[in-house]
Amino acid sequence: MANSSSFPMIIDTDGGVDDALALILALNCQQIDLKAVTVLAGNIDVNQAANNVLRVIDIVQPKQPPLVAKGCEKPLVRPPFNAAGIHGADGLGELHQFTNTDGSPCYPQLTTEPSSEAAVEVLLKAAQEYGSDLTIVALGPLTNIATALQRDRTTLQKVGRIVIMGGAVKVPGNISAAAEFNFFVDPDAAQVVMESGIPLTLVGLDVAMKAPLLRKDIEDFAQKHPSAVSQFIADCTGVYMAFYRDNEDFHGCYLHDPLAVGVAIDPSLVSTESVYMVVETEGRFTSGMSLADLRDRRDESTFPPNIDVCLEVDTERFMKLFYSEII
């Protein structure tokens, strides 16, 4: 939802549950002029990811729907790897299981389709048009962005900032002991982006695991603010939260992707440290690891900082922002 003081944004997403919540936040926020949503394979395949983005747009009904463009079907080098076991086979918590009292589906098949324009072209055109005013928020693997850099590095370097949900610097990974999921899926793409020279902000597990959404809170929210959006949030998070319940004894989920959008809206939500960081692409046990040089005496002439890493978050302020914008 844009106004005269809003800034242009593109969201690059792999179409999972927390991606959907992030998209709702961005579509409703008056500070954001969401120009496009580019999708790629990650949590699920690229076609389902595009369908999920269109589903969210259909539910939110923004006055100016963003363009939706499909991108990469697989990582730069590696075979695809998904998280259907966490997000559901459809990436949105198995929405087919929800029916109305007459037996009709609560979420019928969509009639809208993504643009015929490729995601990489959308990214490059937006970079050319909006330049340093443009923020890209990357919620999935970085394959689309890396591909755009490989296609036309000079043009993509015109963007103001890329906010990346990915990585784990001072905390363990979530898909392996060393790696966060997005970087694990395509570490080669992540390293291309690290070397891009574009201003980068990393919203990794260091802060994402400090932004919990509790099951009881979202159920209370849906009762107090009944709408298509609140019901969708309650429905799509069920499978996702069941994963955390069964594996971590946590009755809720973490707002990884919404926090990245939140940081793009209000950078003061987090404290950051500028560091030199690389992503491991070869390690047998460490592939996808975010290796940040945190040494006090690092040689900044040899290893100049290339990314601002978020290390702390004001959880209370972020949750207030999240709830205020999804109503």
Point out the residues that are catalytic: 256
Question: Which among 237, 281, 277 is positioned nearest to 256, based on CA atoms?
Answer: 237
How many C-beta atoms lie closer than 10 Å to residue 268's C-beta?
9
For 167: left if phi > 0, alpha if psi spans -120 to 50, otherwise beta; the answer is left
Query: How many Å apart are CA 181 and CA 141, to the nearest integer?
Result: 8
In DSSP notation, 181-227 reads HHHHH-HHHHHHHHTS-S-EEEE-HHHHTT-EEEHHHHHHHHHHS-S
Token pair recorded at residue 303 = 């290893």
Strand-pairing partners, residue 13, are 39
Pinpoint the alpha helices (H) of 44-91: 46-60, 84-87
Give backbone dihedrals phi and psi of 270, rounded to 5 degrees, phi first.
-130, 155
Element (H, E) at 253: strand 252-254
The answer for residues whose C-beta is within 8 angstroms of residue 321's C-beta and 6 or more apart is 262, 265, 266, 269
For the chain, what is the radius of gyration of the CA atoms? 19
Amino acid type, 197: G
Query: How many Å apart are CA 223 and CA 211, to the nearest integer?
Result: 22
- Torsion angle of the four alpha carbons 6, 8, 13, 19, in this order, in degrees rounded to the nearest 10: 0
> Strand (E) positions, 40-86?
67-70
Element (H, E) at 243: helix 228-248
